[in-house]
Structure 1
């Protein structure tokens, strides 16, 4: 899998406090927790499609945008958790889709992903879904994975939002393209 370029974490992020949950082989990234500097409070989870290059030492464009958005729009938050539908790391969703076709859903989802999702949700105050459409990933397994993750979100009983500018409840606008002033709408 090709892993794209990195950028610096957002200035609001406490670099020393970042926790990245990778598999030992770094094939899968299950979670990324980014606490904010000089802020304590509940964590907001942003739920994306699949991880790319972000780690404890550097962000990618999507993680940087999501953490900046939460910092600016949730002044009571202590930081942001990043989760993904699929834990397989890859910048190009075409490659993730190819891995799904060749190795199956279980491989691309990642052996620990659902457990980490449930644990992270238990420690979150709210969730913003931002995984976008299936581009690059076969539509039917993608829709099934979205359904499964929406069920986990419903079971968590947390408030769930999505970007109100574009997208839908099943295919919310991807966080990479958010503007900091975008409004959120509740997901029913």
Structure 2
């Protein structure tokens, strides 16, 4: 990992994290995007378990990759998705999604060579709201026209296995957006 090149796109108040980019040292290939549920404490100076697992997985499985972009369904930072769910109930969907999230997703997809969806289930977030957000992000992903993958060990097409729980020998399977 090129720790000097790690960047994060936050709102000015750092309440929302829209993108985290982790370049790999000595690699110049295309970026792989890992699409998760919500950002927690990871930033340009500190990783969390999910970011470490996802970036190590991509490093091992995609030797041509130049690094990893981390995106999220919801840009509101919370160490547990139940926190995001509680704020969603209080402040509404647009607040937890974040005003720049969809635009940042589109921009990041334009700078990516493939996407691994890894947002997991709705745990802590109202299922109907979560399903609306997943559907919206799948529409955006479909517009991007990139190769889409998910972890094949667990999860479903709608709720792909969350990256926090991946094993390095897990295999990816293609995702078809309908």
1:176 equivalent in structure 2: 164
Cα deviation for residue 162 of structure 1 reads 0.2
Please, which of 3, 11, 20 is the counterpart of residue 8 of structure 2?
Answer: 20
Structure 1 residues without counterparts, runs of 5 or longer: 1-12
- Note the aligned Cα RMSD (angstroms): 0.4
Count of residue pairs brought into register by the alignment: 176
1:49-87 deviation per Cα after TM superposition (whole angstroms, max 9, x unaligned) = 000000111100000000000000000000000000000
1:44 equivalent in structure 2: 32
Q: Which consecutive segments of 4 or more residues in structure 1 shift more than 6 A?
A: none
**Matched residues in 1 for 2:65 and 2:84: separation?**
32
1:146 equivalent in structure 2: 134
Cα deviation for residue 44 of structure 1 reads 0.2
1:57 equivalent in structure 2: 45
1:65-111 deviation per Cα after TM superposition (whole angstroms, max 9, x unaligned) = 00000000000000000000000000111111010000000000001
Other structure's SS at 1:119 match: helix
2:113 equivalent in structure 1: 125
1:162 equivalent in structure 2: 150
1:74 has 2:62 as partner: yes
Structure 2 residues without counterparts, runs of 5 or longer: none
